[in-house]
A and B are shown apart, each in its own frame.
Chain A
Amino acid sequence: MKSKKGVIEIQFNWIFVLIAGALILTFFIIVVQKQKQVADVKLIGAIKADLSTILIGSQVSRGTSSLVDIPAVDIYYDCEGYAITNLQAIDPGISFSPNLLKGYNLMMWSLDWNVPFRVDNFLFITSPGVRYIFIKRNSGDNTWDDFYESEDNPSFPPRTIIQDGEERILFNKDLMIVSEAKNYDFENENNYKIRFIFWDDNIIRNQRFSNLQDIPDETVTALYYEPDNSCSGEGFDCFGEVIFYEKGADASRKFKKWRDDDDKARSYYLGRTSLIAAVFAEDPEHYNCNMRRAFKKLAFIAQVYLDKVDDLYDYYKETNNDNCKLISSASTALHIIIDGAEDLSEDFPHAADLNDIEEIYGQILVLENINNRLQRLSCAEIY
């Protein structure tokens, strides 16, 4: 009887130790797990706060490009802004990027969109892991010269920069002749996205890029730009069409229009900054949604300048300054810009939008002319 009691007591002790031990172990496992979650949230929160500051800083410092080191987190981009995991996206304003940014650094570049007054700064963000290849027809083709790298006009940032004494890739761009691109070994270059930029649609329609066959379809895209017939030269500073292409999945290995849909693949540019924006935009949806925001801002700013023109005209009328009264002629141009921009901010891009864009472009030239004349007459300038 006694020994039976002892056995029960020993068994009870073991059960007690087991339960208490399991409880303590569970407690610590829960604490460690919670701590890990808190540490992750804190890290992502800190990255988000720093990224937000960097984005806003880059957005306001127009014309400058920089390479920013970031922790190795994937940053997703859509029309809402830049997001890390499921945290709320950071919206730095009008911005163009691939839909996924990865790697240890980002190239940030902002350019002002002038039509003809500054409407906003467009922010361009990409990773050195994304490759941009500008295709030339042959070695004598100098179409891209003023766009690829130029000291006189806004053009793409240099390929490399010297930072902390070492050469680093800032903007992973290349200028290639079509025959060179067809034989280039893209597969072994470790780029997670490749964007081709064409000015000759014959190349896109007729050339086969069979060397791209082992690269996943969704990572290879192309952009074709075509200035309007009324534009002179290369038409970078004018207006026209941009058409987005993607790698064809069929055996032909030619590029096909985005989603195989001519309407969805087609959009428009107005001025060099918006053409550059199309180069950085992942697809027409991303490009169009940001351009709608840009046109909305244009309508608002044009209205502000219209009020300024009216105020200045009233002042010149009161002071009998006949020379400067010509400022009133800017009103009509601004009204046309406001109407066109309001249309474009709602349903851009529509086939009819090219007319609105053409009208706006015409009025840009009119305003530039009036502003120059006002300056020569020592009157207050519009912008």
Chain B
Amino acid sequence: MKQKKSQIRMAETVAILFIFFLMIGFGFIFYAKIQRIQFQETRSKNVDLESIEVTQRVSFLPELQCSSKNVIKDNCIDVIKLNAVIEQLESDPDLKADLYFDLFKYSNITVIQLYPEEKRWTLYENIKEGASYAFTPVPISLYNSTTNKYSFGILEVYYYY
């Protein structure tokens, strides 16, 4: 009889421990879920920041910016310099990796002239297959020093992560 009683008491203790660990387990799963959501939010914020960093870097590239007597015009791309840069990068593929990979990593950077006529230049293309991307468009003016005319365009930056 006494043995049975102790067996019941033992079963009770094991059950209490089981429920105790079960509750800790549930708590842990709940906590991990919250942590994951917070991590995703931070990651998303960081990706936005990285995307803006890449956009800032492109916007301030001296090899693209318009200048007069070395005075820089913000948000302006010199079309002749843009063509020259693209030509350089096409003639020497290593140059793209050497000079630009550290700056732009996995991105697709395109300059689009919208007015008076539509034109498109791909400055840098290094797409990560199957990855998500953040998109940042920047309105810019495009300057042609031969005709001394400005046109309106947009700088599109797709940052892959």
Task: Give the B-binding residues of A (Cβ under 8 A).
Answer: 9, 16, 20, 24, 27, 31, 38, 42, 45-46, 49, 52-53, 56-57, 60, 91, 93, 112, 114, 116-121, 296-297, 300-301, 303-305, 307-308, 311-312, 315, 371, 375, 380-381, 383
Contact = CB atoms under 8 A, between A and B. Distances in A.
Interface residues of B, number: 42
B103 A93 contact: yes
Main secondary structure of the interface of B (DSSP, over half): helix
Contact of A383 (B13, B70, B146): B70
Interface in B38-64: 42, 45-46, 49-50, 52-53, 56-57, 59-60, 62-63
A46 B41 CA distance: 12
B102 interface: yes
Contact of B99 (A297, A305, A371, A383): A297
Contacts of A312: 80, 145-146
Per DSSP, chain A at the interface is helix
B106 to A, nearest CB: 15
B84 A304 contact: yes
A311 to B, nearest CB: 5
Interface of B: 6, 13, 17, 20, 24, 28, 35, 42, 45-46, 49-50, 52-53, 56-57, 59-60, 62-63, 65, 67-70, 72, 78, 80-81, 83-85, 87-88, 95, 98-99, 102-103, 145-146, 148
B45 to A, nearest CB: 8
Given A60-B56, A380-B146, A307 B88 contact: yes
A91 B84 contact: no
B87 A307 contact: yes
B39 to A, nearest CB: 8
28 contacts: A16-B13, A20-B17, A24-B20, A38-B35, A52-B53, A53-B49, A56-B56, A56-B57, A57-B56, A112-B62, A116-B70, A117-B70, A118-B70, A296-B98, A303-B84, A304-B85, A304-B88, A305-B81, A307-B88, A308-B80, A311-B83, A311-B84, A312-B80, A312-B146, A380-B146, A381-B68, A381-B69, A383-B67
A57 B49 CA distance: 11
